[in-house]
Structure 1
Amino acid sequence: MTRAIALFVGLTLVGLFALLNWNTFVTPQPLSLGFTTVDAPLGLVMLAIVGFLSVLFIVWAMTMQAGALMESRRLAKELQSQRELADKAEASRFTELRNFLTAELQTVAVSQDQTRALLVSRLDRAQESARAAQEETANTLSAYIGELEDRLERAQVVPAQYERTDTLARR
């Protein structure tokens, strides 16, 4: 923007200078073109060259600006399409992650169920084993006590009031 203002101010000063010295600008002078000489107003020729170069520069600047705008729009569209592609890829990754986590959680749940079933069966076996050991111990203890009572009865160390109740049932 500042360049355009500087160019406008410069062209305005050249135009003002030409207007103030208009008589000198239009006075014909002999001009050498290299192979011939021509009588023409030097100021007008120089003013025409400056005007032509200014128009040429303005056209060039507008072309550059238009090209930059077109490139900017193209890049914006490409950026938008890349952003949409990235969003789709991100959504795809999230879907893939969700599916993976679901599968892993199902695997963990199955493993947990298997572990629970194994643990319950082991506990049942341990409980059954403990019950069998307890019954065996109780039977062994009863047998020892019974054997002791029999020995004591044979030795007649046990008074009659302490007789076994199961011996009464046998009689």
Structure 2
Amino acid sequence: MIRAIVVFLGLTLVGLFALLNWDAFTTPTALSLGVTTVQAPLGLVMLGMLVFFSVVFVVWAMSLQAGALMEARRLTRELQTQRELADKAEASRFTELRAFLSNELSTVSVAQEQMRAVLVSRMDRVQDAARASQEETANTLSAYIGELEDRLERARVVPAQYERNDVLVSR
């Protein structure tokens, strides 16, 4: 913005200078074009060249700015396209991750259920073995006690008040 103001101020000063010295600008002079010589006002020729190059500069600056603007729009569209692709890729990665986690959790759940079933069956077998061992121990103990009672009865060490069925007989 400041550059435009400086250029406009410079052109205004040149125009003011030309206006103040208009008689000198319009005085015809002999100008050499290399091949021939012509009579023309040097000030107007120079002023015309300044205007021509100013117009060329303005057109060039506008075309440069328009090209930059078009490039910026193209890059913005391309960036938007890339952003959409990245969003889709990220969404697909989240979907894949969700499917993977779901699959892994179901696998872990099945494995946990199988392990629970194995543990329950082992506990049942251990409980059955403990029960059988307890019954065997009880039977063995009963047999030993029965044998001791028989020996004591034969030896007549057992008092008469006790019967074989371990029932207390009243006196």
Task: Report the count of equivalent residues.
Answer: 167
Residue 70 of structure 1 aligns with which residue? 70
Runs of 4 or more off by more than 6 Å in structure 1?
none
Which sits farther off after the overlay, 77-86 or 30-39? 30-39
Equivalences for residues 149-164 of structure 1 within 5 A? 149-164=149-164
Q: Distance in 2 between matches of 1:99 and 1:105?
A: 10
Q: Distance in 2 between matches of 1:23 and 1:150?
A: 161
Deviations 1:110-168 (A, max 9, x none): 0011000000000000000100110011111111111111111111111011222179x
TM-score (structure 1 length as normaliser): 0.93
Q: Does 1:145 align with 2:110?
A: no
Higher relative contact order, chain-length normalized (CA < 8 Å, sep 6+): 1
Which sits farther off after the overlay, 30-39 or 93-102? 30-39
For structure 2, the residue ranges without an aligned partner over 5 or more in a row are: none
Q: Distance in 1 between matches of 2:6 and 2:142?
A: 121
Aligned-residue RMSD, C-alpha: 1.4
Deviations 1:43-75 (A, max 9, x none): 111101110110000000000111011111111
Residue 36 of structure 2 aligns with which residue? 36
Residue 85 of structure 2 aligns with which residue? 85
Residue 48 of structure 1 aligns with which residue? 48
